[in-house]
Amino acid sequence: MEKELLTQFEEFLQTHLPRIDSFHPHFNDALAQMLNAGGKRFRPLLLLSVVQNCEPLLVKNAMYAALSLELLHTYSLIHDDLPCMDDAALRRGNPTLHVSFDEVTAVLVGDALNTHAFNILANAPLSCETKLELINILSRDGGISGMIIGQAIDCEFENQKLSLEQLKFLHVNKTAKLIAASILMGAVICGLDKQTKENLYNFGLKLGLLFQVEDDIIDVTKSSAQAGKTTSNDSNKNSFVNLLGLEGALKSKQEMLKELHDELLNIDSKVRVTLERIVDKYFKG
C-alpha cells in the first residue's frame, strides 16, 4: 500500500511542480531540481498513510497537503546545505543547489518553496476549516516554534557540547515536530477525534527523534554515495553519536524502537498496522 501511495504522490508532484513565467534563464530548473531528485518522501507518506487507512476517498484531496509538506521540507534541506549553514555539496544523490547554480539562487529557491507550500494548502480542495488548521500546524511546527528554533540552536551551539536533554530539545524541534505534524495533518484531514490526534502527534514526536538518531548513525557509518548526501559532516555538531558514541547511539535507537512499538498500542488499529510497517521498513536492521 505504501508503495502505491508513493507512486501516486510522485505522479501528483510532477503535475504540480512550481513554475513561474519569466525571462530568468534557470530559475524554474532550480525550483524543480531538488524536488525531482527524489528522497524518502517520508513526511508525505505518513500523511497519506493516515488518510488511506481512515478516509481513503480523501487521498486525492490530501495530495495537496502532502505536497505542501514536501515543499517545506525541501526548502529546509536547501537552506541547511548552504555555505553559511552546513556547507554540504551533495543532497539526494545530486549536487546541492548552491553548487549547481549559485548561493543566491539556492536561497531564493528555498524561500520560494517555503511560501509556495502555504499557497498550495490555501488552494487545496478541502474545507476552509480544515485548511486553516493545516496551515496552523505546518506554520507552527515548520516555523519558529519548531524547525526554525531547532536549526538556530543547532547552528549557535556548534563546537559546544549540549546535555542529552538539550540535545533532545534541539532535535525534537529541528526534526521531530515536522514529522509529527505530517501524521497530525493526515488526522485533521480525516476529522479524527481530539484524543486520537493527540496520540498520533505524540507518536510522531518519538518517531521524529528516532529519525534523527538514525540520521546521525548514517552520518558516521555510510559514505556520501551510499547516503545520497554529504556524510562525516557532523564532527562539530551536537549529534547523538557525538554525545553518546556510536554504540550508545545504536543502543538509544533500539530503546526508541521499543518505545515506538509501545506507543502504537495507544493508536487506533486502522492506522496502527501501516505505521508499524513504516517503522519496520525505515528503522529496523
Write the single-letter amino acid at 22: S
Taking 80 as the threshold, does the pLDDT of residue 40 lie above it? yes
pLDDT tier for residue 38 given thresholds of 50, 70 and 90: confident
In this predicted structure, what is the pLDDT of residue 230?
76
pTM of the model: 0.96
Fold of 2-283: Farnesyl Diphosphate Synthase (1.10.600)
In this predicted structure, what is the pLDDT of residue 233?
67
Task: State the average pLDDT for the chain.
Answer: 94
Q: Tell me the pLDDT tens digit for each residue of 153-173.
A: 999 999 999 999 999 999 999
Q: And the C-alpha cell for 98?
A: 548552491
In the chain, which residue ranges form alpha helices assigned H by DSSP? 2-15, 27-36, 42-54, 59-80, 97-100, 103-122, 128-141, 147-156, 164-171, 177-190, 194-221, 224-227, 240-263, 269-283
Cβ atoms of 284 and 250 within 8 Å: the answer is no
In this predicted structure, what is the pLDDT of residue 135?
98
Q: Which residues neighbour 154 within 8 Å (Cβ) at sequence distance 6 or greater?
A: 170, 174, 237, 238
In this predicted structure, what is the pLDDT of residue 226?
79
Q: Could you give the dihedral angle defined by the CA atoms of residues 21, 23, 25 and 30, in that order, rounded to the nearest 10 degrees?
A: -30
In this predicted structure, what is the pLDDT of residue 266?
86
3-class DSSP state of 9: helix
Q: Tell me the pLDDT tens digit for each residue of 245-282.
A: 999 999 999 999 999 989 999 898 889 999 999 998 88
